[in-house]
Structure 1
Amino acid sequence: MTRLRAVQPSFFDNDAAGTVPPNVLAEDAAPLRVVDLFAGAGGLSEGFRQEGFVVVAGSDIDPDACATYALNYPAAETICGDIRQPDIRERIIAAGRGADVVVGGPPCQAFSQVRNHSRIIDDPRNSLYREFVKAVDEIAPTAFVMENVPGMAQMGVLQQVKEDLELGGAYTVDPRVVDAADFGVPQARKRIVFLGWRRELNPAPILLKGTAVTSYLSLARLAKGNYAIEGRGDKASNLLRVLEDPDDIAVVSTAQAISDLSGLQTGRRNDETVLRDLPEPESAYQRLMRKELGEALHNVSVPRINEDTVTRLQGIPPGGNHRDLEEALTARYISGQKWGPSTDSGKLGRAHFYAYRRLHPEIWAWTLNTKADCAYHYQHERALSVREFARLQSFPDHFVFTADPRRGKIPGRIDGGPAHSRYRQVGNAVPPLLAAAIAREVAVLVRSTASKEPSTQ
């Protein structure tokens, strides 16, 4: 049941719904070149590739993420190592020479402690951010994109970051907060995007706007165990119709993203399945995700699950969480089997609360993190496969997540093993469909710039 309050019918603007806009690069134009710093598995790169950019190089310190990047971008140079090391930095700068665009999402640890009298770029805890700024300065692309956590806008540092990225007036920088669900990603994921271009350019206004559905629709808890979609504003009714339409990819629900994978079983160890064993796609989004898939689908293994967790999930409705559990199900141990750390109270502790949440099939997912238990299936008492994580992040099915085959501790590797690494790679990524929307704006900007440059002949 869908619950909407105080809405008035209205019609979409032409660009507010429907199919993804076509590739903006003219067929006879030379492809634009992009370099991805702090690339992780390559979410930004994938979005730019989908818009016709040539991915020249990607760099990251995590060898497992680098393995995934190299597998999916075989024509690009994968540079694995710490960008602060001179030899790694030299390789990145050399690979980036002549690139039209530099993109990346450098970690920034000291934003919350900064004060107006201290520049962010000078804080040693922000050395990776400083490396991104230095790389833009040396590569001198026509445009760049830096993405980061949206909280930066509330930390009193937005203007300082903007000034750092302007490089003394060399670039114009436009920061804005966007939500991936507004761009056809079946997941709410807010990011702040800094789009920069050479100061001498005079581009048309940067649009970068989606459906704004996250401003009009949300999942509301009406009572214990009772959840429904709630609307607000004059566009809610129309946006709800788009959300409910499986043939419209402007707004995508969880079920529209992963319902064709519901048959995956808990504890499945085989990480691959052949395409002929999958049901037919049940939505336009699923057809889009399978578009370039070959004969096999990868990353479909499913973690095992504890008996107590199954029992609790049976007591949580779609969209619900630990607050919906009956009192008896809040005991730390239900079946008598002892697992994980105990609590002094004998009840679930605060650390467990985020581990008992079920997705709702009729609306997009909440923000996924890097752990397999951050979201459970809306229909079955099980965790999601990496492939389902990837679907909710809008990675196409032909994109395979892997890990460096070397075992044990190697430089840059995060503890947890290859299975956890795959979830982490997906959870840390920029959703490709959001990246593609950014890439379309960047392509228009760079192309319009090229057309205004005087001829040298």
Structure 2
Amino acid sequence: MKVIDLFAGGGGLSEGFRQAGFEIVAHVEMDKSACNTLKTREVFYYLKNTNNLDSYLRYLKKEINRDELFDMIPEEILSRVIQSEINIETLPSLRKRIDNILASYDNPKVDLIIGGPPCQAYSTAGKSRDPYNMQNDKRNYLYFRYIDFLKYYRPKMFIFENVKGILTSLDGSVFESLQKYLSLAGYTLDYKILNAKDFGVSQNRERVILIGWQKNLNLSYPIFPNENFSTIQELFSDLPSLQSGESIDGKYAYLKNKNINNKFIRPDNWVILTQHITRKNNENDLKIYHLAVSTWLNEKRILKYNELPKNLQTHKNTKSFLDRYKPLKNDDISHTVVAHISKDGHYYIHPDLNQNRSISVREAARLQSFPDDYYFEDSRTAAFKQIGNAVPPLMAYKIAEVLFDLLNKN
């Protein structure tokens, strides 16, 4: 069954759907680094399916560069990743490119469209930083472009994912309009607020998951089984200790005789550790991190910013945003991972006092349930941004499994 992934980001949704048995015929994304990541993932699956994964491993070990890797791959595989903004002007060219891809199939019918417009316009954090409360942000209305694709390709079902803020954006008018026009496009729809932790992800992450299906299909919103999640300690148990600024990338470096139970995140026989890369935190932040973790370990509470010694305080605001520094908790799951992790790691301090740093790229990827064989392109900052913006692949996989069965039965 064929899928188009819109506003694809770094590929969290499409990864889950691919592992559940769907075929991703096109990813549409405007960010260049995210597109490079999507291409590298296409390369991984092509080489895996042709029993040539050694070339991918050579790339991870820095024995060949990305251009050399991509040169091994047929252009029709790489062309599934379309770097483009989605707007009125680009719609004709996007349709043409996707139609050309579909023309290579015996049956060019699209079964599913997945994705969700950028969520900054609906997020609480985004509104707090905008003097107009994001009311003038054009991203409020990108869902119309999503609907344009539905009307053109007429998939049997669609998945629309976004932050909870979309329900109340512009006093609820955005979500009311979204539901109205999805219905006019010919779909029955329903939505729920789902939490990634209920799908086995080690993260407390609530998102609106809206599912629609053609009105002639006898379907209803599916019931998803609850899954067990790993604690942070279990999730990081096979990763070697690092200090601030240290990194391990493309090495046989997992701790010996250690493995995690989650085979989705660390597949059997996967032995090369990549992107276990940490920031170089400054001395002031490291002192604060040490205090924050110590406070949690000794008192089981979050250290407030106004409790810091005066010589460590760098902001004048000591009355609001007092939880600026948050350690992860060894015996629990993470709070929501967001794209701001690309700017600093203060909200994601490693729980091990001896390591005293913010989390690595690979640790953040695991919190989002990305497989360890998933490689994020271009830079540490770009990787963190892609990870923070993603739908957890394991959550997507569990949703896709259920939808796969529903579509097969219909």
Correspondent of 2:153 among 127, 139, 151? 139
* Matches for 1:421-436 after TM superposition, within 5 Å: 421-436=382-397
For 1:66 and 1:35, the matched residues in 2 are separated by 15
> What count of residue pairs does the alignment treat as equivalent?
343
Residues 62 and 101 of structure 1: CA distance in aligned 2, closer, same or farther (over 3 Å): same
Who is 1:401 aligned against? Answer: 376
Paired amino acid for 1:424: K
Counterpart in 1 of 2:81? Answer: 78
Q: Of 189, 192, 208, which residue of structure 2 is paired with 1:192?
A: 208
Give the stretch that moved more between structures: 314-323 or 366-375.
314-323
Secondary structure of residue in 2 paired with 1:177: strand
Does the alignment pair 1:281 with 2:258? yes
Partner of 1:214: none
Q: Tell me the equivalent position of 2:197.
A: 181
Measured against aligned partners, the alpha-carbon deviations of 1:404-440 in whole angstroms (never above 9, x if no partner) come to: xxxxxxxxxxxxxx22111010000000111012112
Gaps of 5+ in 2: 44-76, 103-107, 128-136
> Alignment partner for residue 375 of structure 1, among 320, 342, 348?
348
Alignment correspondent of 1:59: 28
Q: 2:97 matched to which residue of 1? A: 91
Match of 1:331 among 307, 310, 316: 310
SS in 2 for 1:274: coil
Deviates more, 1:384-393 or 1:77-86: 77-86
Does 1:356 pair with 2:325? yes
Separation in 2, partners of 1:354, 1:70: 38
Q: Deviations over 1:281-321 (max 9, x none)?
A: 35412x44221564422111111112122222222225643
Shift of 1:209: 4.7
Structure (1 or 2) with the greater helix fraction: 2
Aligned to 1:321: 302
Matches of 1:71 and 1:258 in 2, distance apart?
Answer: 25
CA contact (8 A) 1:355 1:375 kept: no
Cα distance in 2, alignment partners of residues 429 and 281 from structure 1? 28
Equivalent position of 1:444 in the other structure = 405
Give SS of 2:109's match: coil
Q: How far does residue 401 in structure 1 lie from its aligned partner after superposition?
A: 0.7
Distance of 1:360 and 1:312 partners within structure 2: 16
Match of 1:386 in 2: 361
Aligned-pair distance for 1:148? 0.5
**Contact in 2 for aligned 1:315/1:326 (Cα 8 Å):** no
Q: Is the 8 A contact 1:187 1:393 kept in 2?
A: yes
Matches of 2:16 and 2:33, distance apart in 1: 20
Q: Is 1:311 the counterpart of 2:287 in the alignment?
A: yes
Identity of aligned residues (%): 32
Partner AA of 1:402 in structure 2:
E
1:105 aligns to what?
116
Indicate if the aligned counterparts of 1:320 and 1:358 stay in contact, CA closer than 8 A. Answer: no
**Residues 272 and 301 in structure 1, CA contact (< 8 A), matched pair in contact too:** no
- From 250, 253, 256, the equivalent of 1:272 is 250
**TM norm structure 2:** 0.76
Change (3 A) 1:70 1:36: same
CA shift, 1:330, in A, is: 3.7
1:272 is paired with a residue whose SS is: coil
State the one-letter code of the partner of 1:91.
R
Q: Secondary structure at the match of 1:46?
A: helix
Are residues 320 and 55 of structure 1, via their aligned partners in 2, closer, same or farther at CA, if it must alter by over 3 Å?
farther
Following superposition, the deviation at residue 354 of structure 1 comes to 4.8
* Alpha carbons of structure 1 residues 281 and 174: separation in structure 2 relative to 1, 3 Å: farther
* 1:359-412 Cα shifts (integer Å, max 9, x gaps): 111111000122141201111311111100010101110111112xxxxxxxxx
**Could you tell me how far apart the structure 2 residues matched to 1:422 and 1:125 are?**
23
1:142 Cα offset (Å): 0.8
> Structure 1's 192 and 205: CA in aligned 2 closer, same or farther, altered over 3 A?
closer
8 Å CA contact 1:100–1:142 kept in 2: the answer is yes
Contact persistence 1:110–1:125 (CA under 8 A): yes
Query: Counterpart of 1:446 in 2: which secondary structure?
Result: helix
What CA RMSD, in Å, does the superposition of the two structures yield over aligned residues?
Answer: 2.7
Residue 420 and residue 108 in structure 1: after superposition, are their counterparts in 2 closer, same or farther (change >3 A)?
closer
* Structure number, greater radius of gyration: 1
The equivalent residue for 1:128 is 142
1:53-75 deviation per Cα after TM superposition (whole angstroms, max 9, x unaligned) = 11111110000000001101234
**Residue of structure 1 equivalent to 2:134:** none
Which structure 2 residues correspond to residues 406-417 of structure 1 after superposition, within 5 A? none
1:297 corresponds to 2:259: no
Deviates further, 298-307 or 104-113:
104-113
